[in-house]
Amino acid sequence: MSRHASMAILVTFMLFSVPISGCLGFMESDSAPSGQDDPCDTAPDSEDCLKLEPRPQDCSVIEIFDGGICRDLNAPDELDYGITSTKFYVGIEIDPYTPSFIGDGPDVWLVSPNLPEGLILDSETGVLSGIPFESGVSTHTIVASNPAGSSSIDIFLEITIEPPSDLQYDLSELVCISGQQCHLPPPDVTGAQPMQWTSQPPLPEGFSFDDSGSITGSSTIQASTNHVIRASNEAGNSSTTVMITIVPTTPVDFAYPDSPIEYAVGDLIEIVPHPNPGEGIEWSVTPMLPEGIHIDSEGVVRGNANTTFDWSQYKITASNSQGSSQGIILIRVTDVAPTSIGYPES
């Protein structure tokens, strides 16, 4: 065999028996080929693996990777929700309660006994939230744990219907005309229905509440009264004050249909207005009526014609707190006409 042939065989043998590195990729790399297990995962205590930087997967179940090292896991401690007892309302979504603690984060959250229907303990964050559905009282133990240990807290829950609050009518005074239907719209109020409605003192005769707290009715008793209105349910009550005022109707137009009218001295005078102008009327006459004649509380002009006077016009005014109306009468009083004149026989 020639010298050149021997050299070729030697080079070929070296290529296949000695790993080489570089961009040609014939030499094996420091890391395991893709798709193969990392030998440090199966033999982490080997000398080569101990020289490597720690990795998160190198930590045990009771360790945590922190600051480039595996340190001992700390158990959660001093678990706190900011409350040890609280009150929730049926059907009202609660503000979420987020827990606080010292130590490393829990990976398990438990509650015993189960929370009332509608309330939820988040299994990842421990946040308490939800909408309670039923009334009741109960105490619950919430436990936060990780492999190093646990912490717990007892919370007392009272769930009830929402009491009435912030009761307010749009009007603080209800002004009603005597004898006419009057209405105060429902008030604004928060709280659970149904509610009971009361007034102190009682509403004027003829007035009542409906289920919404609206006040409706009519009355002919003219007065102004303050009323404490109270809305209540089994959880509590709320109140406000409303004044109810019954005023007379505005006097209607009227007249004295018998006018003009003539009387003789000594006659009884009675002149009646029609129609009656209303309630709570005050009467006045301009100018003043002659002596012996007056106007009564019903607007009737009465009296005795004691002296004669020629045709005279009088303005009668009916007024109350809501307004006034006027009527006119025209009268005169004459002497008594002679009657049964006779002469004695001579």
DSSP H stretches of helix in 172-247: none
Are the beta carbons of 112 and 141 closer than 8 angstroms? yes
Which pLDDT score, from 0 to 100, does residue 59 have? 81
- Which of 104, 102, 100 is closest to 77 using CA atoms? 102
- Extended beta strands in 113-235, E state: 119-121, 128-130, 136-146, 149-160, 165-168, 173-177, 182-184, 188-190, 196-200, 207-209, 215-217, 224-233
Which pLDDT score, from 0 to 100, does residue 31 have? 43
CATH code reported for the domain at 261-334:
2.60.40.10
Q: Which helix (H) or strand (E) holds 71?
A: strand 69-72
Which pLDDT score, from 0 to 100, does residue 6 have? 37
Q: pTM to 2 decimals?
A: 0.61
Judge whether residue 86 has pLDDT over 70.
yes
Tell which wins on pLDDT, 12 or 64.
Answer: 64
Task: With cut-offs at 50, 70 and 90, classify the pLDDT of residue 332.
Answer: very high
Are the beta carbons of 301 and 271 closer than 8 angstroms? yes
Which pLDDT score, from 0 to 100, does residue 33 have? 47
Which pLDDT score, from 0 to 100, does residue 176 have? 96
Report the topology of domain 164-247: Immunoglobulin-like (2.60.40)
Are the beta carbons of 230 and 158 closer than 8 angstroms? no
Judge whether residue 29 has pLDDT over 60.
no
The two structure tokens encoding residue 93: 């979504």
The two structure tokens encoding residue 99: 């827990």
For the beta sheet containing 196-200, the strands, ordered from the edge strand earlier in sequence to the opposite edge, are: 173-177, 236-247, 224-233, 196-200
Residues whose CB is less than 8 angstroms from the CB of residue 81 and which lie 6 or more positions away in sequence, other chains included: 97, 98, 99, 100, 128, 142, 153, 155
Domain 77-160 superfamily per CATH:
Immunoglobulins (2.60.40.10)
- Which of 233, 224, 216 is closest to 167 using CA atoms? 233
Neighbours of 282 (CB within 10 A): 12
Q: How far apart are CA 75 and CA 148, in angstroms?
A: 5
Per-residue pLDDT tens digits for 277-292: 877 789 999 999 998 9
Neighbours of 327 (CB within 10 A): 20
Which pLDDT score, from 0 to 100, does residue 49 have? 64
The two structure tokens encoding residue 90: 């049926």
| Start and end residues for every CATH 2.60.40.10 domain found in the chain | 77-160, 164-247, 261-334
Average pLDDT over residues 239-253: 94
Which pLDDT score, from 0 to 100, does residue 63 have? 79
Residues whose CB is less than 8 angstroms from the CB of residue 168 and which lie 6 or more positions away in sequence, other chains included: 187, 188, 189, 240
DSSP H stretches of helix in the chain: 3-17, 39-42, 47-50
Tell which wins on pLDDT, 69 or 209.
Answer: 209
